Amino acid sequence: MANIVLSVRDLYLYYRTRKGVVKAVDKVSFDLKRGETIAIVGESGCGKTSLARAIIRLLPRNVEKFDGVISLNGTDVMKMDEEEFRKRVRWQKISYVFQGSQNALNPVIKVGFQIAEPLMIHKGMGKEEALAEAKKYLRLVGIHESFLDRYPFELSGGMRQRAVIAMALVTNPDVVILDEPTSALDVITQANIINLLKRIKQEMNISYIFITHDVPLTSELADRVAVMYAGQIVELSDADEFYVSPKHPYSEKLMASVPTLRTDKKLEYIPGTPPSLINPPSGCRFHPRCPFAYERCIKEEPPLAETSKGSLVKCWLVHEGKR
């Protein structure tokens, strides 16, 4: 399809550890359209950050397996060697706002220079031209251009996060991966950042992969929601459908654990803990925590297959019409 900017097929990222091989990303597939936001949600440790790092190829040393197809505008970037990927893809076409990045700005370098730097490194721009461009992007993220000459400690947390977003946008990438972009911020600042991301998405027709464990936060931005559990996508649904009627029992439990204002809804929690990614459970990985699991769920792995409503769901109950 012409408007698909990023296509991920059968992506694996396993880590080698002393205790065994951690299957952090285990056969993940999805497509991202131009201008679309996919929210990737799931409990801590289910592989969200590993998926992001696999896509932008920022990998640790202990990788056991890194495999699959990642097509960017129709080109399989997995076939590129590190040098070509660094020159043509990372930060140029796909950029990454990593977890806690507002605290990772270099404290002794002025904010403007830090925003301009990707242009000098990746686009070969001279300093003056890059700084002029940085000024434009500072404005875009709602920071007055006078802050170009300030140091990170002179900015509030929210402003630092805006600066980091400007850094991710300055090369005009096709895809921006946002990994918990608001996690260290108060709720008002969080809302401001989400509104900013929404405005930029519309203005630049950019695609986001928005990673978070905070499901309600995604509702303002997401066009589709992908739920990850134990290294796999277990549901991929249109956002409108997902928030009203999540299909996978895990998605349902995630939504049921979200507080809503002024209702008598009893908050649920998901009993047990996410499974080991070294020895994940047989069949459906959620079966030990699923109240509806039956024999087939224990024995056989369900496919991630389309339901009548167009959602992709990895659950035997759904496929067999039991839910």
Ligand X SMILES: Nc1ncnc2c1ncn2[C@@H]1O[C@H](COP(=O)(O)OP(=O)(O)OP(=O)(O)O)[C@@H](O)[C@H]1O
| Residues forming the site for ligand X (CB under 6 A) | 15, 17, 22, 24, 42, 44-50, 60, 62, 213, 277
Long-range contacts of 316-320 (CB under 8 A, 24+ apart): 316/284, 317/249, 317/292, 318/247, 318/248, 320/296
Read off the DSSP letter of residue 267.
Answer: P
- Shortest Cβ 287–ligand X spacing (Å): 19
Query: Smaller CB distance to ligand X: residue 46 or 94?
Result: 46
Strand partners, 208: 37, 176
Long-range contacts of 152-156 (CB under 8 A, 24+ apart): 152/105, 152/106, 152/107, 152/111, 152/114, 153/107, 155/111, 156/189
SS (H, E, C) 174-240: CEEEEECCCCCCCHHHHHHHHHHHHHHHHHHCCEEEEEECCHHHHCCCCCEEEEEECCEEEEEEEHH
- Shortest Cβ 59–ligand X spacing (Å): 8
Query: Smaller CB distance to ligand X: residue 12 or 113?
Result: 12
- Shortest Cβ 65–ligand X spacing (Å): 12
Burial class of residue 213, CB neighbours in 10 A (0-12, 13-18, 19+): middle
Query: Smaller CB distance to ligand X: residue 17 or 245?
Result: 17
- Shortest Cβ 210–ligand X spacing (Å): 13
In angstroms, the CA 307 to CA 318 distance is 8
Beta strand extents in 52-154 (DSSP E only)? 63-72, 75-76, 94-97
- Shortest Cβ 22–ligand X spacing (Å): 4
Query: Smaller CB distance to ligand X: residue 171 or 251?
Result: 251
Return the SS3 of 46: coil
- Shortest Cβ 233–ligand X spacing (Å): 12
- Shortest Cβ 53–ligand X spacing (Å): 7
Q: Phi and psi at residue 43, in whole multiples of 5°?
A: -65, 160
Query: Smaller CB distance to ligand X: residue 114 or 218?
Result: 218
- What are the structure tokens assigned to 310, written together? 């167009």
Tell which residue, 247, 245, 233, 202, has the closest CA to residue 220.
202
Query: Smaller CB distance to ligand X: residue 62 or 103?
Result: 62
Query: Smaller CB distance to ligand X: residue 47 or 118?
Result: 47
Return the SS3 of 68: strand
- Shortest Cβ 69–ligand X spacing (Å): 20
Query: Smaller CB distance to ligand X: residue 45 or 152?
Result: 45
- What are the structure tokens assigned to 90, written together? 């990372």
